[in-house]
Amino acid sequence: MRERRGALSAEALLARLRGDADERPAVDPGLAGGLRDWFEDVLGAAGGSPDAPVVRVTKETVNQVLVCEAHALSRTAMPRTVTIELARGVLVDALFRQWVTLGDIAEPWADATAAVECAGDEAVVRFIGDLDTRSRDRLAEEIREHAARITSVWPVSNPSWLARTQERLEVPLGGGRLVLSGVVDLAFGAPCAGRASVCLVELKSGARRLEHRGDLHYYALLETLRGGAPPFRIATYYSATGELDVEQVGEDVLLGAMHRTLAGSERLCRLAAGAEPARTANPLCAWCAELPGCGPGHGRAGSRVPKTAGDPTAEERVWADSPCWVEEEIV
Amino acid sequence: MRAAPSAVGEAAEVARPVGIGLTLPRSASLTEALLAPATCTVQASELQELRALLLGELPRLVEELPPKERLQIGAYELAVARDHPERCALQRDGFVPSPARCRRAVGVAAVERCVRGRASTPHTAVAEVLNSGLEDLAAAARAQGGQLPPWWAQWYAGLALGGRATVQAEAVTWATQLWTALDWCRFGRPPVIGGRDDWWECPGRRSLVVRGRAEVRVWAGGRPVMLVVASGFPGIGWRAELAQRALVVALARGENPVPARVVGLWPSSGLVRICEVDAAALFEAAAALVSAVGTWVDALVGLRHGEPVAR
């Protein structure tokens, strides 16, 4: 079951996150081990040398490699580029974390920048420092709007919820040759003692995009493999609009996430072993660093985007502005 | 990089069963694993042999260190020497506190409060620990004596609200992972949370100190048992990494019993590894220690002479 509605009150938001405690599903004790075995079997059958480099799989790399292997490979070689959207996301994440932890935000811009500075994210600190006054003021205003929405809608955490923010999940497979990893913005609930008991929440400061759902499923899979039990709910909270997408986690969700992650992992392992990447035309071709030497990219017909290579800022805009293309291409 | 002496290296070949399954609730399984009776012992003669071996190797290695250089080896230094030897020469910068670096210190103090019944949840306990640190700092500044402020207090006091929130959030996450990992009701007497690190100073003309650290210490069947919380997931050297904690106890505590086991918990991956401490495990840890000391000495000597470090 998947629910999506407009902005909520704090009580309604909490009710949707917690659901009915009596209806939380009993955990199949063999599920996590079975999923892990399945992964190990498929990845083991795919071979790979023990000396091969460790392949780190994230929600982003799975998305990229399923769109186009050549594109994914080109992104691994690119340094992290900070855009205004990325900086906003990092700052809003920091404020959300502060709100969950302290239940208090004094001055959103000062608090968020202090948090990012303290956490040592030098690239974002430098990016913000280099912004001209007008851009910085505009970003600060945006941050204040996001903070206002979070504080007005998101309930102050009760300590008994055992909220964990920015919780890292890392699942090594194949003796550590492949690592599924991710960082969940918020996890709460005690560890499972028979019934699913954990809820995962992802915060998004940008527009709704189709792949957000796949990202959540990926986190549900990781939590299942890590904790031995699936979360009972997964949710995406959009701080720009106050919307909350909530989904219950059943076997179908986990199996879907597993198939998708396996497909992506196999491709990433093959690329890491030096295989030639397959090239798949897609709407990102115009911004791909591989475009100059890519036949399918050049041949992509009907594109309304200009064919200039390697402009990640523009790419970010395409991702933000075109929420439906992924569905056409890979789902 | 220096090779470990062959006699020590050969001891590393022993393999034993490890880890716990996915039985739920996992806190019960982990607590049972921690409190299980010891399955092996270490003879006094084996400890003597181990000590003699290390005293034969380590002073010779650190002899090359510059006279005023002090080498301190803990779990972090072991891991760097094993996995990223090229970074050994880069580790000499001064220590800079960060939310990630002080989450353990704040987190163990918070879990300790929870275990003693002074706080009901890690969330509450972390806030109390941080406030208490600030109070101790203020008292020290007024020269009123009392508790010495914790090492992170000065740095934390200088942070703006956003920075303090990040520190608190990191510590809450860390403490909650430890708090929910064990079934605290099952301990007959309260375990020691954090506690003092174990130190062993290698005799010789140059200064070499080995440090062991554990997050939880309990007694099982008359012998100490340690729980170690680590980040990421267990790598190939996990056994030596865990056994190193027992090795320092064995070297430093003289007649006191050697830990029966060291249990490693990697919360990010949910994995648990169990190192039953016998002579083989201690010799394996000794081999890793000798190898790490050699790597660090090479790096420091190379750094002094402006040479690149061997990769």
Q: What values do phi and psi take at A181, rounded to 5?
A: -140, 160
Contact between B168 and A117 using a beta-carbon 8 Å cutoff: no
In this predicted structure, what is the pLDDT of residue B262?
97
> How far is A162 from A323, CA to CA, in rounded Å?
34
- Please give the Cα distance from B42 to B205 (Å, whole number): 30
DSSP assignment string, A9-68: -HHHHHHHHH--GGGPPBP-TTHHHHHHHHHHHHHHHT---TTSPPEEE-HHHHHHHHH-
The pLDDT of residue B225 is 96
Chain A and chain B share a number of CB contacts under 8 A equal to: 130
∠ CA B56-B59-B65, rounded to 5°: 150
* Residue whose pair of structure tokens reads 């208090």 in the numeric block: A104
Q: What is the pTM of this model?
A: 0.89
CA distance A209 to chain B (A): 27
Q: How confident is the model at residue A2 (pLDDT cuts 50, 70, 90)?
A: low
Nearest to B24 among A27, A101, A118 (CB): A27
Say which residues have a Cβ less than 8 Å from residue B291's Cβ, sequence separation at least 6: B1, B2, B3, B4, B81, B82
**Residue A80 token pair:** 């992290």
For residue B133, how many other CB atoms are within 10 A of its CB?
A: 23
pLDDT at B17: 46
**Residues of chain B positioned with their CB less than 8 A from the CB of A113:** 162
Nearest in space to A94 (alpha carbons), one of A72, A117, A65, A71: A117
Amino acid residing at A290:
E
Which whole number is the average pLDDT over A144-170? 94
B271-283 pLDDT per residue, tens = 999 999 999 999 9
The span from the CA of B42 to the CA of A279, in Å, is: 60
pLDDT-based confidence at residue A289 (cuts at 50, 70, 90): confident
Instruction: Give the integer Cα–Cα distance in Å for A163 and A297.
Output: 45
Closest CA to A55 of A170, A139, A168, A159: A170
Alpha helices in A122-250 (DSSP H): 122-130, 133-153, 211-227
Cβ(A224)–Cβ(A254) under 8 Å?
Answer: yes
- Given this model, what pLDDT does residue A241 score? 92
pLDDT tens per residue, range A86-140: 999 999 999 999 999 999 999 999 999 999 999 999 999 999 999 999 999 999 9
What is the band of B57 on the pLDDT scale with cuts at 50, 70, 90? very high
Who among A115, A170, A225 is closest to B165 (CB)? A115
Q: Are A114 and B161 in contact (CB under 8 A)?
A: yes
Q: What is the pLDDT of residues A212-253, one digit of tens each?
A: 999 999 999 999 999 999 999 999 999 999 999 999 999 999
- Are A172 and B172 a contacting pair at CB < 8 A? no
CA distance B119 to chain A (A): 11
Q: Is the pLDDT of residue A25 over 80?
A: yes
Measured between CA atoms, the residue of chain B closest to residue A163 is B173
Closest CA of chain A from B47, distance in Å: 33
pLDDT at A63 over 50: yes
Provide the chain A residues 43-72 that lie in CB contact (below 8 A) with chain B. none
Q: How many angstroms separate the CA atoms of A69 and A268, rounded?
A: 8
- Tell if the CB–CB gap between A97 and B161 is shorter than 8 Å: no
CB B229 within 8 A of CB B177: yes
| Residue type present at position A198 | V
A 10 A CB-CB count for B32 gives: 13
Is it the case that residue B159 has pLDDT exceeding 50?
A: yes
Three-state DSSP class for residue A149: helix
**β partners of residue A245:** A4, A236
Q: Six-digit token pair at B162? A: 């956003």
Chain B's closest residue to A111, CA to CA, is: B162
CB contact under 8 A, B168 and A170: no
CA of B30 vs chain A CAs: smallest distance (Å): 13
| Mean pLDDT calculated for residue range A1-26 | 76
Is A185 within 8 Å of A210 (Cβ atoms)? no
Between A279 and B24, the higher pLDDT residue: A279
Average pLDDT for A5-15:
77
| Confidence tier at A331 by pLDDT (50, 70, 90) | very low
What DSSP string describes chain B?
-PPPPHHHHHGGG----------SSHHHHHHHHHHSPP-----HHHHHHHHHHHHHHHHHHHTTS-TT-EEEE-HHHHHHHHH-GGGGGGTTSPP---HHHHHHHHHHHHHHHHHTTS-SSHHHHHHHHHHHHHHHHHHHHTT--SSPPPTTHHHHHTS-HHHHHHHHHHHHHHHHHHHTTS-GGG-SSPPEES-PPEEEEEPSSSEEEEEE--SEEEEETTEEEEEEE-SS---TTHHHHHHHHHHHHHHHSTTSPPPSEEEEEETTTTEEEEEE--HHHHHHHHHHHHHHHHHHHHHHHHHHTTPPPP-
- C-alpha span between B34 and B265 (Å, rounded): 11
Higher pLDDT: A327 or A220? It is A220
Residue B267 in contact with residue B232, Cβ under 8 Å? no
Answer whether residue A258 shows pLDDT above 80: yes
The residue that leads in pLDDT, A290 or B276, is B276
The ipTM (two decimal places) reads 0.88
Contact in structure between A201 and A216 (CB atoms under 8 Å): no
C-beta separation of B273 from B264 below 8 A: yes
* B31 contacts: CB under 8 Å, gap ≥ 6: B182, B183, B186, B187
The answer to whether residue B176 scores a pLDDT higher than 90 is: yes
d(CA A267, CA A285): 19
At A47 the pLDDT is: 62
Asked if the Cβ–Cβ distance from A176 to B232 is below 8 Å, we say no
Mean per-residue pLDDT over chain A, rounded: 86
A273: tokens are: 């072993």
What is the separation, in whole angstroms, between the first and last Cα of chain A? 19
Which pLDDT score, from 0 to 100, does residue B8 have? 39
Question: Which pLDDT belongs to residue B59?
Answer: 92
How close is the nearest chain B Cα to the Cα of A208, in Å?
Answer: 27
Judging contacts by C-beta atoms under 8 Å, the chain A residues touching residue B22 are: 29, 32-33, 228
Residue that wins the pLDDT comparison between A193 and B114: B114
Q: Has residue A302 got a pLDDT over 80?
A: no
Peptide bond into B25 cis (omega under 30): yes
Residue B7 has pLDDT above 50, yes or no: no
Q: What is the pLDDT of residues B180-209, one digit of tens each?
A: 999 999 998 889 999 899 999 998 877 899
For the segment B213-231, the average pLDDT, to the nearest whole number, is 95
Task: Give the pLDDT mean for A317-327.
Answer: 39
Q: Among B27, B98, B160, whose Cβ lies nearest the Cβ of A114?
A: B160
Which one of A165, A169, A176 has the shortest CB-CB distance to B169? Answer: A165
Question: Quick one: pLDDT at residue B87?
Answer: 85
Question: How close is the nearest chain B Cα to the Cα of A124, in Å?
Answer: 15
Indicate if the pLDDT at residue B253 is higher than 50: yes
CA B264/CA B226 separation, integer angstroms: 8
Q: Which residues contact A191 (CB under 8 A, 6 or more apart)?
A: A197, A198, A227, A229, B25, B26, B27, B180
User: In the prediction, which pLDDT does A3 show?
Assistant: 53
* Percent of chain B whose predicted confidence (pLDDT) is above 70: 88
Q: Would you call A111 and B168 a contact, using CB atoms and an 8 Å cutoff? A: no
Q: Which residues touch B68 (CB under 8 Å, ≥6 apart)?
A: none
Shortest CA gap B118–chain A (Å)? 14
- Please report, in angstroms and rounded to a whole number, the separation of the first and last CA atoms in chain B: 8
Name the pLDDT band for B145 (thresholds 50, 70, 90).
Answer: low
CB B212 within 8 A of CB B248: yes
Q: How confident is the model at residue B20 (pLDDT cuts 50, 70, 90)?
A: low
With an 8 Å Cβ cutoff, is A94 touching chain B? yes
Residues of A in contact with B269 (CB under 8 A): 169-172, 226
Residue in B24, B167, B176 nearest the CB of A228: B24
In the predicted structure, residue A197 carries a pLDDT above the cut 80: yes
Q: How far is CA B137 from CA A157, B96, B153, in A?
A: 29, 18, 6
Residue B11 pLDDT: 38
Cβ-based interface (< 8 Å): residues of B facing A: 21-27, 98-99, 120-124, 159-163, 165-170, 172-173, 176-177, 179-180, 231-233, 235-236, 268-271
Model pLDDT, residue B1: 33
For residues B165 and B309, what is the distance between their CA atoms, to the nearest angstrom? 39
Nearest CB to A101 within list B24, B27, B169: B169
Determine the distance in angstroms separating the CA of A102 from the nearest CA of chain B, rounded to an integer: 7
Question: Of A273-277, A317-321, B87-91, which one has max mean pLDDT?
Answer: A273-277
